Chain A
Amino acid sequence: MKKISINLNGETRYVHVEPNDVLLDVLRDKLGIKSPKSGCERGDCGACAVLLNGKSVRSCLVLAVEVDGQEITTIEGLSKDGLTPLQESFIEHNAFQCGFCAPGVTISATELLNKNPHPSREEIKEAIAGNLCRCTGYESIIEAIEKVAKK
């Protein structure tokens, strides 16, 4: 067991981890952050995406020890002071159905809009191509992001 510290959604958290503990499990089971979901545990679905120092990573592929001293943001952190315009747009467009992919998609889209506030439709598709959604056919999600990108 090793004690690591993570700047998690703006708060410094300390946690004991095994060398082979996966970040996704540590976030969910040891730190109580439940928005990142498990959908494959091998990097295929993007449901587990979080921001690591502002860049999206698949937390199922990251060992917890690797993020010692780093900054992690999940959607619990994004919505800390109220919903972001992106989240508001998702609500307005009824963008999600079951919602299970929503945290991962939100992380990918947030990263995109941070880098590129006015992305094209193709850039939006590219940015969320690593997030599988089985319900929506992506159209409503893309439209909701486009709406924010046009602002």
Chain B
Amino acid sequence: MKEYRYVGKPEIRIDGKEKVSGAAIYTDDINFGPDLLYAFIVESPHAHAMINSIDTSEAEKYPEVLAVVTGKDFPYKFGLYMQDRFIFAQDRVRFIGEQVAAVVARNPKAAKAAAKLVKVDYTEIPAVIDQMEAVKEGSDLLHEDLENYNHVPWFFPKPKTNIAHWRKIRKGETQKGFDEADYILEDTYDVPRYAHCAIEYHAATGLCDKSGRLTIWASSQSPHTQRHLFAEALKPLGFTHKDVRVIAPHVGGGFGSKAGVTMEILAAAIATKVKGHPVRIMWSREQEFYNTYQRLGVKTFLKIGVKKNGKITALDHKIYWDAGAYVEYGANVVNAVGLSAIGPYNIENASIDSICVYTNLPPGGAYRGFGYSEFLFGLESHMTRIANHLGIDPIEIRRVNAIREGDKTAYGANMNPNGLLKAIDAVEKEIEWHKEFKSSDPNKVIGKGFSLLWKAPAMPPNASSSCFLKFNEDASINLLVSGMDIGQGYLTVMAQIAGEILGVPPSKIRTENPDTDRNPYEWQTVASHITWGSGNAVKKAALNARDQIFDLVVRTKHLPKDTLYLEDEKVKCTQNPNFELPLKDFVVDGIQMKDGTFKGGPILGKGTFLPEFSTAKSNPETGQGGHPNVHYTTGAAALILEIDKHTGKMKVLKAVEAIDAGKAINPDLVKGQIVGGLVQGLATVLYEDMRYDDKGRLLNPNFTDYKLPTAKDIPDKIVPIIIEVPQPDGPFGARGVGEHTMLPAAPMVANAVADGMKVRIKSMPVTAEKVVMAYLDKDK
């Protein structure tokens, strides 16, 4: 493999010093001066109710209150994939915590106190909390006028039901496949909702100046998409895209929750009512839980038929999503899973129904993994169960069925080159799969669990990225991109890509989080596509700048272009070892000729990238015919779990995860993703446990009752393994890994529990209580 100078090296994060010195500015750290106003939101106390009237008169009289706004002020809809929600509730609320009004005051205490004086008169109507109830015929409806909602062309809502989208896959002949099977396993799995729990809250400050310029500072994964959605929603007020600006400082974690638009639209809208004053909205930890997005809950019905040798003959996967009150983003999670719930397997006959169901719970939306964790829990539990039934090794059955390059995906396109088999081998070896593990403590047993993972970016076929590259006088570089460093190390990786091509060390490249006025377009920092998509744009911008440099040298020094190369911040020539032209001598000022004139001028690179082969067009009844996913990233993982037979208490002794990054531009950061993501995944299965009452009220919206793992709760050992089978259209062969890292955690824990305790837990989380109860039941 080619040796690179900066790519593939564990470079130090270019934002490292800022973050450890306290210099890093997050949204709420920005000083807006003494004119800053504070908004406080009035929320629905009901899961489903009609709003009869809102009386704001008392609140308006409260000292230091400048404005009280309600749905009447903004009868505008918004939404990324489906416009099914209003900025503030209009005549109806659909979940507890939904925004009904806002009070704007000179200080936060006044805003909060006055918000209590807003009187909202409601009439409660029946709420539907469970998706299996909501999907029944005759269920109370959340959205009676569903057929009139604007949505992307690849959604298929069912009017007069609670079904917002139904993604169908019909591949091969499923019934025939089951007829040919020697063994069929059919079961259901439950995965509840989860919260992202970025440590930084959602925060946004809006300023609409008297000239009509609207600026939003937001903790964001999607500055350009936010600008677009603000401009679209507020178009009736006269805004166009050029009038709206989103500035995105450092983000204190996103995990999908800061993608698209949630509370930020409140800052944009409210600012238009208090022109000239910046107005700040910051969510509390409780609001983080119930009024951003949550990970969708799901119930899956899975049926797999196999031959005696483990070869899968057919799969039928029916997936019912509890998508919440609004699915403007969440319906695309459902879609993504519909396309991919076949798993990383080559299956000829498959039927998938992924069904997006409205419920009176908080809106579901993007969460690291984008639905794949949810279906993999069932699928990867199923694979181990089938292997056990057939007496085949659980790793072997996966090898037999593993998807390979050129095999057909569920929607009929060819699978990309991938290192799935290499990942399986690497994990099998590192975890010592075939070794017997025994606890020295008679009260404890040891179980081993294994799982595969795969995921594709879920994005519109025209999601694009772009980059401007500016040289400075000293040949340092400002790289302007609009992806977000949400912790994954994006800024550093972009600098490594540009630096590699231009022979400039990443430490001499400044890449910052964007301002939509200054930085060129990027769709969103989601889908783990940013290294690939934005990386391609950066690579093109760097190649474009290199071309300009070479052309100038050809023109002025009369050297053949194909003999020129860049190294150590200099132009060099393969034919003439004595030729060395430092970049700093000319990248801004140009090259001086004998007659004293100058040629050239500032080098400005430009690159854009759009996956031109992708299409979401397909047959709605079969899902066949399109190329909706650009590629899949695959991997494997295993763990060794120690379980206390009497208490069910579990401890991960060792976990191994191998992921095919294509090319790890920065292996240190990829390993950071593997470890961090795996721990986040383990948290969902071993710690976090979201509870609602039967009225749709979230009972544990805080870190005391919704437990995140601490440093004391992590596995004794995590071994991250990087596999590199290049992605042909990726920058230096790279593909994304950020979300994938958490995907195998839950099924491998369930599989390890089954291995050690001989009980199968089919609902997440896998708590000590569940394990020990199942164990006691088993012995009865």
Q: Give A residues with C-beta under 8 Å from B.
A: 28, 32, 34-35, 37-42, 44-45, 47, 74-76, 79, 83, 87, 90-92, 94-103, 106, 124-126, 128-142
Contacts and interface: CB of A to CB of B under 8 A. Distances in A.
11 contacts: A38-B28, A42-B704, A45-B199, A92-B12, A96-B16, A99-B15, A99-B19, A106-B20, A125-B711, A132-B708, A137-B680
A31 B227 CA distance: 33
B652 to A, nearest CB: 11
Contacts of B251: 98
Interface stretch (B327-335, B348-356, B404-412, B485-493): B485-493
Contact of A134 (B250, B255, B488): B255
B308 interface: no
B21 A99 contact: no
B151 interface: no
Given A134-B199, A135-B487, A137-B714, A34 B22 contact: yes
A117 to B, nearest CB: 19
Interface string B668-707: 1100100111111000000000000000000000111000
Given A40-B702, A44-B702, A98-B487, A35 B22 contact: yes
B309 interface: no
B718 interface: yes
A128 to B, nearest CB: 5
Contact of B675 (A102, A103, A125, A137): A137
A48 to B, nearest CB: 11
Interface in B16-40: 16-22, 24-26, 28-29, 31
Interface residues of B, number: 53
Nearest to B29: A34
B672 A97 contact: yes
Contacts of A103: 22
A35 B708 CA distance: 23
Given A91-B20, A94-B16, 20 more contacts: A28-B29, A32-B31, A37-B200, A39-B285, A42-B702, A42-B703, A94-B489, A97-B676, A98-B250, A98-B486, A100-B199, A100-B253, A103-B22, A124-B711, A132-B703, A132-B708, A133-B199, A136-B676, A136-B679, A137-B714
Given A102-B20, A103-B22, A97 B703 contact: no
Contacts of B454: none
B21 A47 contact: no
A37 B24 CA distance: 12
B20 A90 contact: yes
A99 B672 contact: no
Contact of B711 (A45, A87, A100, A141): A141
B710 interface: yes
A116 to B, nearest CB: 16
A132 B714 contact: no
- Residue among B487, B669, B678 facing the most chain A CB atoms (10 A cut-off): B487
Interface of A is mostly: loop
B22 A94 contact: no
Contact of B22 (A45, A75, A138, A141): A75
Contacts of B672: 94, 97, 136, 140
Contacts of B199: 37, 39, 45, 47, 98, 100-101, 132-134
B708 A74 contact: no
A99 B677 CA distance: 16
Nearest to B15: A99
B461 interface: no
B661 to A, nearest CB: 16
B197 A134 contact: yes
A37 B26 contact: yes
Contacts of B702: 40, 42, 44
A100 B252 contact: yes
A98 B16 contact: no
Contacts of B676: 97, 135-137
Q: Give the residue among A39, A125, A133, A139 with the most B Cβ atoms within 10 A.
A: A139
Contact of B252 (A44, A87, A98, A126): A98
Interface string B230-263: 0000000000000000000011111100000000
Contacts of A75: 20-22
A148 B708 CA distance: 27
